[in-house]
Structure 1
Amino acid sequence: MVTVSASVVNRFSLQLTFVLFLSVVVVTLFTALLTAPQRDEISEFYLGNRNMSPLRNGLAMCGDYLSAATLLGSTGLVALTGYDGLLYLGGTAVAWMAVLLVVAEPLHNSGRFTLGDTLALRLPRRQRPVRLALAVCTLVITTLYLVAQLIGSVALLTQFVGEPSQAVRTLCVIAIGTIVVVYAALGGMPGATFIQVVKAVMLVSGVAIMAVLVLTRFHWNVNALLSAAARGSGLGQRFLESGLRYGAGTASKLDFFSLELAIVLGLAALPHVVMRLLAPRTNRVLRTSVVWAMGLVGFVCLAAGILGLGATAILGRENIAKIDPRGDATVLLLAQSLGGGLLTALISCLAFVTLLAVAAGLTLAAASSLAHDLYGEVIRKGQATQTEELGVARMAAAVIGVLGMLLALLPWEISTASLAFLAFAIAASAILPALVYSLFWRRFSAHGALLSLYGGLACSVLLVVFSPVLSGSPTSVYPHIDFAWFPLQNPGIVSIPAGFLLGWLGSVLRPQQEPAEYEEFQIRTLVGAAPRAARD
């Protein structure tokens, strides 16, 4: 990445960003410790205060989902590719519809603390192997996503100080990672929720202010904004048509479809999003919370599109590409142009807080799955005390945080977007088939669940290993060698159908021996009587 430190972020912005970020961290850490579980109850650590309003729940869901990639990467994508970038944002905005319409209420009614509880209720005779497979998938997904956030913190730091030395890079990753571990290990769900709500409010407010400034520059005339963006792109009308990134050929079109498929379907199976769906006390609160999350995410995506077009119109596409070919610096360049050093510092602080919030949710989800599913139910076979399980959860949060830091410090050149999109693809290919089949297919069996979980995970990872992400192109991790035979950067178009096919095949070859178990499970997914008593 080309640094923008010389042309965008001056010393004043750097110092102000540090002061603002440190202030937010101190306040949120102090509040997280105050709201942390005071009793050794796993329900409070996993689900927190379940009396929150739908708006607060919606803000927390929005904070859990939207990462710095939305603020930095998506804005840059629109600025550099125009229509194709806007099309990408559309998939991000509609992903919550699949959550609301398909899995939210049945999962809330049948779940307890983790997705493993839902699968165990559906497949009680083989629940331990299924919980183990689910814990493995959860650990892989959350670790990939966590590493993406930590690498993103280094990339953001690059915008201030240029290419950092190894010592500065290490210090940045350790500082961010340690703060994340404190949020998750000590604060639990209450602490993570607070930082996510703060982040969501800051993100919505920040993009709203910048979008208003952009629209004001063009007198609130959208046609004038589009025309100026077309002129600033140097491509004319082509900038407002498909083809700059995803429509150049059949492979790029398939790659875009594969990416959108993974984003739309993967959201419903991301472990930290699933945990958030279990937090509301009632279905009414859950529905309203998801609607709030849909609206907030949609607004942020709309604002990101306006910012991307505004950056092209005001700064010019070529100028942005010269400073940062990936476009990650677009929003900082635009902030400098619109509001000088003060606005640049505010947006920079917002980006760092966004990284913290998403990483905290991921760490908590991974720790909960390892403590509850792996340790509590597989290793201790349900005999662990609440105090014991809570201690394991906090220890697991620290271990996952250290693992994420070590992986983020490896000398590999891989984009944060590639890691994040792989996490979405694994969630959609491995966890989503098991979840959908469990909720809606009577003949689904434990063998089918194991095949879909392990098979979907293996298929996603193998396809990425033999794709242009790792080799065969100038932007690959290993650009000078070529062992890529899979032409797409995202495996979703192949791995997602493969996961569903494996789940179906395993269930057909070894069907469930007790179909009556599904009848009881189906009643619980509809009315939630038994799980509600267990949770409350």
Structure 2
Amino acid sequence: MVIHSAAIADEFSLRLTFVLFVSVVVVTLFTALLTAPQRDEISEFYLGNRDMTPLRNGLAMCGAYLSAATLLGSTGRVALNGYDGLMYLGGTVVAWMMVLLVIAEPLRNSGKYTLGDTLALRLPHGQRQVRLALSLCTLAVCLLYLVAQLVGSIALLTQFIGDPSGATRTMCVVVIGSMVVVYAAIGGMPGATFLQVVKAVMLVAGVAVTAVMVLHHFSWNIDDLLSSAADNSALGGRFLEPGLQYGGTTTNKLDFFSLQLAIVLGLAALPHVMMRLLAPRTTRVARGSVVWAMGLVGFVCLMAGVLGLGATAIVGRESIAEVDPRGDATVLLLSHKLGGAVLEALLSSLAFITLLAVAAGLTLAAAASLAHDLYGEVIRKGKAKQTEELGVARLAAVVIGVMGMMLALLSWGSSTATLAFLAFAIAASAILPTIVYSLFWRGFTARGALLSLYGGLLCSVLLVVFSPIISSQPSSVYPDADFAWFPLQNPGIVSIPAGFLLGWLGSLAGGRTEPTTPDDTFEEFEVRALVGTDQR
């Protein structure tokens, strides 16, 4: 979300945004401290209050998943690319079907605190090596996504004050990052849940009100909205036809398919989303939570599509591109036109809160994996006391937050979308195959899990390193170099099948040299995954 133009907000809007943002932060921080775990129990820190209703947990899932990229970036994609932008939003909605139909119930039934507990139950032979590999993949996914949020906070600030100085960038990242650490390290899951619920309610209300204003502007006539968007796009009917961004060459079409594949499959393996799936006490609540989350995410994406088309129709595609070639300023430009500085400030503060909520969930998920899987089970071999593991979890949250801040400052100028999409690709290529095979394939072994985790991670990273994202194009990290032999910007179309293939081959090869899961062990796991237990 790098803005290459001058600030678009006036001084009043900036002050009002600051006041609103600080007000929400003070309230949520105070509440996070009040709701923080009062006992030295890891279950309370990792899972929080497990008596939540499906609606509340669904709101928390929605708040944990929807990032500022949905409010700013996705709306901008629709405003600049029309039909192709709408198809991108559609992939986000379809992704939740994967969670609901395949992952949610068996993962909740067989898990405890982290995905590592599920794998340890399923793969008792070599569980320590599998937990280690899973912790590294979880850390990679969470750090990439966390850095994307922190870089996005700088870009959002840029929309108000223009290109910030180095000191201003540092201050912005440190302030946002420190708040994230407090939410995760002190508040744990209860604190993160409250922030995510507040953010989800604000996001749903904010996009709904703005979308109503857009529809009212066109007298609730969808045909007028579409025709005005086409007329003001300077592209005519092409704006509402496929291929504007991902059309033309075969490479562009494959890139779009690869991106959608990573989004649809990656969501089911994002660590902070999986952590929320483990929080409900009963299967019924877990199922209802995912249904609510799917409906809320679908509603927000639908409203984002309306906002994108409305921005093109009211502001104009060329005007948006002139202010911000990436389109991330679309919502603020539209809100300024519709409601002046007040609406602009409301949506701007909402974007900052969105960054905080997603970043807190990511930090907590990574800290839980490092403390429970890496320290508690690999290093201490399950002998760590609860107070000891809880202290490590809080320390890990601080370390991850500091690492995120440092990487965000080093990554200034990088595309937040690229960082986020790489995180999705790693999750879909490394973690998802391990989950699917563990839940549904009797012959899956620890060696297959290791090959799937390490292979999917390395394949995703290497393909991005040798892609146009890093070199060979003016927008690349190193535009003057040219070592991009992989033509696509998202590696999912290659790395995801590679992750599944490596898990399959590793399991077949491992069957001759390591014990496979005994039939009775797998059957016991299968019963638990399908039936579960309501008290853990």
In structure 2, the residue matched to 1:527 is 531
In structure 1, the residue matched to 2:261 is 261
The share of aligned pairs that are identical, in percent, is: 76
Secondary structure at the counterpart of residue 409 of structure 1: helix
Matches within 5 A, 1:53-452: 53-410=53-410, 412-452=412-452
In structure 2, the residue matched to 1:513 is 516
1:92 & 1:411 partners in 2: Cα distance? 26
1:528 counterpart letter in structure 2:
G
Matches within 5 A, 1:491-506: 491-506=491-506
**Which deviations, in whole Å up to 9, do the C-alpha atoms of 1:348-387 show, x marking residues without a partner?**
0000000000000000000000000000000000000000
1:519 counterpart letter in structure 2:
E
Secondary structure at the counterpart of residue 186 of structure 2: helix
Secondary structure at the counterpart of residue 39 of structure 1: coil
Q: Tell me, yes or no, if the aligned pair for 1:442 and 1:515 is still in contact at 8 Å.
A: no
2:95 & 2:148 partners in 1: Cα distance? 20
The alpha-carbon deviation at position 475 of structure 1 amounts to 1.0
2:341 & 2:316 partners in 1: Cα distance? 20
Q: Tell me, yes or no, if the aligned pair for 1:412 and 1:477 is still in contact at 8 Å.
A: no
The alpha-carbon deviation at position 249 of structure 1 amounts to 1.3
Secondary structure at the counterpart of residue 126 of structure 2: helix
The alpha-carbon deviation at position 2 of structure 1 amounts to 4.1
2:491 & 2:103 partners in 1: Cα distance? 23
In structure 2, the residue matched to 1:469 is 469
The alpha-carbon deviation at position 14 of structure 1 amounts to 0.2
1:85 & 1:465 partners in 2: Cα distance? 26
Q: Tell me, yes or no, if the aligned pair for 1:452 and 1:499 is still in contact at 8 Å.
A: yes
Secondary structure at the counterpart of residue 280 of structure 1: coil
Q: Tell me, yes or no, if the aligned pair for 1:148 and 1:420 is still in contact at 8 Å.
A: yes
1:103 counterpart letter in structure 2:
I
Q: Tell me, yes or no, if the aligned pair for 2:443 and 2:517 is still in contact at 8 Å.
A: no
2:432 & 2:441 partners in 1: Cα distance? 13
2:463 counterpart letter in structure 1:
L
The alpha-carbon deviation at position 515 of structure 1 amounts to 2.7
The alpha-carbon deviation at position 164 of structure 1 amounts to 0.3
Cα RMSD after superposing both structures: 0.9
The alpha-carbon deviation at position 4 of structure 1 amounts to 5.6
Secondary structure at the counterpart of residue 39 of structure 2: coil
Q: Which runs of 5+ in 1 are unaligned?
A: none
1:89 counterpart letter in structure 2:
L
**Which deviations, in whole Å up to 9, do the C-alpha atoms of 1:267-316 show, x marking residues without a partner?**
00000000000001111111111000000000000000000000000011
1:302 & 1:105 partners in 2: Cα distance? 27
**Which deviations, in whole Å up to 9, do the C-alpha atoms of 1:114-141 show, x marking residues without a partner?**
0000000000121100000000000000
**Which deviations, in whole Å up to 9, do the C-alpha atoms of 1:167-208 show, x marking residues without a partner?**
000000000000000000000000000000000000000000
Q: Tell me, yes or no, if the aligned pair for 2:430 and 2:453 is still in contact at 8 Å.
A: yes
Q: Tell me, yes or no, if the aligned pair for 1:80 and 1:312 is still in contact at 8 Å.
A: yes
Find runs of 4+ consecutive structure 1 residues off by over 3 angstroms. Answer: 1-6
Q: Tell me, yes or no, if the aligned pair for 1:123 and 1:446 is still in contact at 8 Å.
A: yes
Matches within 5 A, 1:27-66: 27-66=27-66
Q: Please identify, of 130-139 and 409-418, the stretch whose mean Cα deviation from structure 2 is larger.
A: 409-418
Secondary structure at the counterpart of residue 516 of structure 2: coil
Q: Tell me, yes or no, if the aligned pair for 1:3 and 1:159 is still in contact at 8 Å.
A: no
1:501 counterpart letter in structure 2:
L
2:302 & 2:487 partners in 1: Cα distance? 31
Does residue 11 (structure 1) correspond to residue 11 (structure 2)? The answer is yes
**Which deviations, in whole Å up to 9, do the C-alpha atoms of 1:446-468 show, x marking residues without a partner?**
00000000000000000000001
Q: Tell me, yes or no, if the aligned pair for 1:443 and 1:515 is still in contact at 8 Å.
A: no
The alpha-carbon deviation at position 514 of structure 1 amounts to 3.5
Distance 1:211 1:412, change over 3 A: closer
2:459 & 2:273 partners in 1: Cα distance? 23
Secondary structure at the counterpart of residue 258 of structure 2: helix
1:510 & 1:406 partners in 2: Cα distance? 40
Q: Tell me, yes or no, if the aligned pair for 1:452 and 1:500 is still in contact at 8 Å.
A: yes
Secondary structure at the counterpart of residue 224 of structure 2: helix
**Which deviations, in whole Å up to 9, do the C-alpha atoms of 1:149-180 show, x marking residues without a partner?**
00000000000000000000000000000000
2:113 & 2:229 partners in 1: Cα distance? 48
2:532 & 2:132 partners in 1: Cα distance? 25
Q: Tell me, yes or no, if the aligned pair for 2:6 and 2:323 is still in contact at 8 Å.
A: no
2:125 & 2:383 partners in 1: Cα distance? 17
Q: Tell me, yes or no, if the aligned pair for 2:47 and 2:278 is still in contact at 8 Å.
A: yes
The alpha-carbon deviation at position 63 of structure 1 amounts to 0.3
May I ask how many residue pairs the two structures share in their alignment? 531
Secondary structure at the counterpart of residue 281 of structure 1: coil
The alpha-carbon deviation at position 247 of structure 1 amounts to 1.2
1:21 counterpart letter in structure 2:
F
Q: Which runs of 5+ in 2 are unaligned?
A: none
**Which deviations, in whole Å up to 9, do the C-alpha atoms of 1:459-507 show, x marking residues without a partner?**
0000000001111111111111111000000000000000000000000
Q: Tell me, yes or no, if the aligned pair for 2:470 and 2:476 is still in contact at 8 Å.
A: yes
Q: Tell me, yes or no, if the aligned pair for 1:32 and 1:187 is still in contact at 8 Å.
A: yes
